[in-house]
Every structure is written in C-alpha cells, then in structure tokens.
Structure 1
Amino acid sequence: MVQTKILADKTALIATATDFIIEKIRSSIELTNRCTIALAGGNTPKPIYEAIAKTDLPWDKIHIFWGDERYVLPTHADSNEKMAREAWLNHVNIPVTNIHPMPTDGENPDTDAQKHHQEILDFFGLTSGFPSFDIILLGMGDDGHTASLFPYTKALEVFDRLITVGNRGESLRLTFTIPLINHANCVIFLVAGSSKQEALKEVFSDTGNPNQYPSKFINPQGELIWFLDKSALNN
C-alpha cells in the first residue's frame, strides 16, 4: 500500500511525520512487544529525532538500526550514528544493547558489511533470508539515491545479502540492500525541497529508470509512505 502525504512546507512535514512515526512505534510495540526501526541520516530527520527524544516511550522495547552509514568512525562529524545519538539516543533511557550501529571502525568495509549482515540475522533469529523491520526511514537525494544506493552502482545489483558496500565516488558506505528494505513492514520517505523535483518526478513516473533513480526500486511488502513538502513537487 502506497500513501503520499503532501505538506505545506518542511516544518509541517516534520511535525506530521513525527506524529506518524511515534504512532507507528507504539502500534508495533502493542502488536509484537517491540519495535525495530532503521534510521536515516541527513538534515530532515534530525528534528524528528529531537522530538521523539522528548516523547514518553517504552525505550527498552525499541531497537535502533541504521539504513546506511558512511565508512567513518562513529565520532566523525559525517556519521549518521553520531547525529542520531546527539539528537535522540543520548537523551533517553534506552539500553545500550538495543542500539545496533553499523560497524565502520574496521579497515575492510566488505568484511564489516558481512559482519553486520550476520548481526541482523542473529538478532531476528534467522539463519538465512530477509527479516522484516517494523519501520525503515529513508531520505532521497537530488540524484534519486536513497540509503547509500547510488545511481548505476554495484550496490543496486546485490539481492542475496542484507548489507553491502555503497559508494559515492571515493566515499565508501555500508547500506541496507534493496531486498532488505523491501521486506519492511513500513517504509517512510522524508523528502523536502525544490531540488528534489526532477528526481521525484522520475521516481513516480511509470517510465522512470530505477538504475538512474534508485528510490524507484523501493516497493516494500508492507506500507510505503511518502512525506513530501509542496516545494518537492514539480507542479
């Protein structure tokens, strides 16, 4: 099921998406006694994380993952983990064991991708296949990429693993693979700004090329919700 929620501006998008995400967390806990959520990086999610940090939630039932991460130390300014900890996780009483960052402090991203693949399988009690995260948050770049799935890169061809190495030029990342994202119960895109108009038009088009605009590959078995501000739409 695909839903598109169009908000007047970025402020309204953040407020509406925050309420929606909090309700999704609560409903997941009510249904299964836990919530698994994979976070996105970038500027748009940060105020959402700050708002969630001020919410009364059963933190011991929430497990935090990341949909992608730059291959930098978690103390690095570009780290998605660092941003989420400073905006949210450092301010709530969540058990350390409920936070599952991508390992990016080694020297071999391929080895660390395999390590995190196994960590996720172990967490979900699987020996193979793809688990279903309750919530995966995603952004979309001006080029149509999402997570660290960039146009015309090898990461787009990986369908037999949970985690792979993504790259933007020389910048290496770890990223959820397309099939892992598509096994989610709920995928939420957060997209704001006029610079996204061209890519968004192609992603929503029947003729758009997903290899050029990788967000078009995302078609989960569960819900797909796009939160957009009006400036992102090419009217």
Structure 2
Amino acid sequence: MNRHVEILADQFALIERSRKIVVDLIHEAVNASDRFTIALSGGSTPKNLYAALANESLPWSKIHVFWGDERYVPATHQDSNQLMARQAWLDKIEIPASNIHPMNTTGADPQQDAQRYEVELREFFQKPQGFPAFDLILLGMGDDGHTASLFPHTDALSVGDRLITVGNKDGQPRLTFSVPLINQANYVLFIVAGANKRPALKQVFATQGDEMQYPSRLIQPQGELLWLLDQAAAAEL
C-alpha cells in the first residue's frame, strides 16, 4: 500500500503541515494542468486548516472546490459542511462563485440530489464513464472509523458503480463520495487528531481487519495516501 504516515506534536503542528501540503499541491497542479480540484471534509480540524488557507495568496481563479460529503440540511444550517468552509475560508478569498461546487441538499430526495451531483462531476471532469481523479481529497476519521459519510455497516460502503451515494448516520441521510471515487484521487490526505481516535486508528492500521466495521480501511487510492496524525491520536500505533 502506498500509505505514508506523519505524526505531529499537536494540532497546531498538524494544521501547519497540512496547510503546507495543500499549498504545494495547488502550485504543482496549476503548473501542470492550469487547474486544481479539491474535495473538502467537515469537522473542527479541517476548519482550522481552511482558516489558515484563507491567509494564503494563491491562484484562486484556477482552484475548484467540491465537497466529499454533506449532511442533508440547508446550506444555512449550522451543521452544513458548506457553511463551515465558506465562513472559515471561501467567503474570505477572491474565488469565482462558479469555482465553488457544493452538494445540493435543499430537495426532498437525497437519492435524486446524489445523482445531480454525480452529473455535475461528470460534466465538469468531462468523464461520462468511469471515475474522475481529483487532485486532492481531504478526509477526517471519526472515532468509529468512518470517513466522509461512509459509516460502519451501511449500504454506502458497497456502492461500486456510482460517484455519489447516500450515507446514513443514525437514520439521517447524507450525500457522500463513494469509495471508488475517493480511491481514484491523485492524493488523499487524512487529518486526524485527538486521543479518542486511538482505538479506531489501531484497527484501521492493523494488517488484517474488518472494512465494514472500520470503513477508513477501504481508502486505498491509486495516487498518494498520507495520514497526518497528532501525537494524541497516534499514541498506540
């Protein structure tokens, strides 16, 4: 597996390291293809990364922002990943509105909205078949081992023919990238912090394990895979 792991002293170091990686990847992609595509994650740790990126001077007109998963709530809801990213980052930079590609969660049918986002991705990447490759997909991991909205023992884990599917958390639907779409990425960056993540990380990193119980084990991209951990999270590895 092309998995790399870096352990940082604390969350401050974690954010600084992830900021540098993202900035470097942006410059590399823009230099190579005049475009950079990133899929965002939710959570408190990525929020700090987004706030740091808001202070950068970058070619914003060449950066396209997507979301790897989203709660099925309005974009103005406090639980919205889109709202968090806009408040911490996107509303503070000069990025064209057309470069921001949120998931639609205002309808009454999550399956239809998942299909709409899939159509949008296929049109953007000009990829009518197969799975497009994002330059970077950011991921976190819950203390149950889930990532994106791919939760243990849910139907979304087995979706192999779609880009976007519907995840489920305690009966609440969420839109999420499928495992094959994530695994097509050129670069996947996990950012994980906190002692509460230790038990799940131990299972995710084990030589043998249950992917249905610990879905983060399913993330094995064709490109680079980097796990950034703080010492609190990595203490038992």
Question: SS state of the match for residue 85, structure 1?
Answer: helix
**Cα drift, residue 80 of structure 1:** 0.2
SS at match of 1:195: helix
Distance 1:20 1:178 in 2: 23
Residue 60 of structure 1 corresponds to: 61
* Alignment of structure 1 residues 206-217 onto 2, 5 Å: 206-217=207-218
**Deviation at residue 155 of structure 1 after TM alignment:** 0.2
Q: % of aligned pairs identical?
A: 56
Residue of structure 2 equivalent to 1:111:
112
Shift of 1:74: 0.3
The alpha-carbon deviation at position 127 of structure 1 amounts to 1.1
Q: Tell me whether 1:42 sits opposite 2:43 in the alignment.
A: yes
Q: TM-score, normalised by structure 2?
A: 0.98
Calculate the TM-score normalised by the size of structure 1. 0.99
After superposition, residues 56-205 of structure 1 pair within 5 angstroms as 56-205=57-206
RMSD (Å) for aligned C-alpha atoms: 0.7
Aligned to 1:4: 5
Q: Is the 8 A contact 1:198 1:234 kept in 2?
A: no
Q: Distance in 2 between matches of 1:85 and 1:31?
A: 27
Find the counterpart in structure 1 of residue 229 from structure 2: 228
Post-superposition offset of 1:12? 0.8
- Alpha-carbon shift at residue 106 of structure 1 (Å): 0.5
* Aligned residue identity for 1:216: R
Q: Which runs of 5+ in 2 are unaligned?
A: none
What amino acid does structure 1 have at the position aligned with 2:76?
T
What is the aligned residue count?
235
Q: For each residue in 1:60-116, what CA deviation from the matched residue of structure 2 results, as whole angstroms up to 9, or x when unmatched?
A: 100000000000000000000000000000011111110000010111000000110
Alpha-carbon distance in structure 2 between the residues aligned to 1:90 and 1:9:
28
1:13 match: secondary structure: helix
TM-fit CA distance, 1:234: 3.8
Residue 133 of structure 1 and its aligned partner are, at CA, apart by 0.2
Tell me how far apart the structure 2 counterparts of residues 15 and 93 of structure 1 sit (CA, whole Å): 22
Once residues 192 and 171 of structure 1 are traced to their aligned partners in structure 2, the CA distance between those partners, rounded to angstroms, is 25
Q: Distance in 1 between matches of 2:72 and 2:202?
A: 31
Tell me if the contact between 1:201 and 1:234 (Cα under 8 Å) persists in the aligned partners: no
**Counterparts of 1:185 and 1:114, CA distance in 2:** 23
Gaps of 5+ in 1: none
- In 2, the alpha carbon distance for the partners of 1:234 and 1:50 equals 27
Amino acid at match of 1:15: E
- Distance apart, 1:26 and its partner CA: 1.2
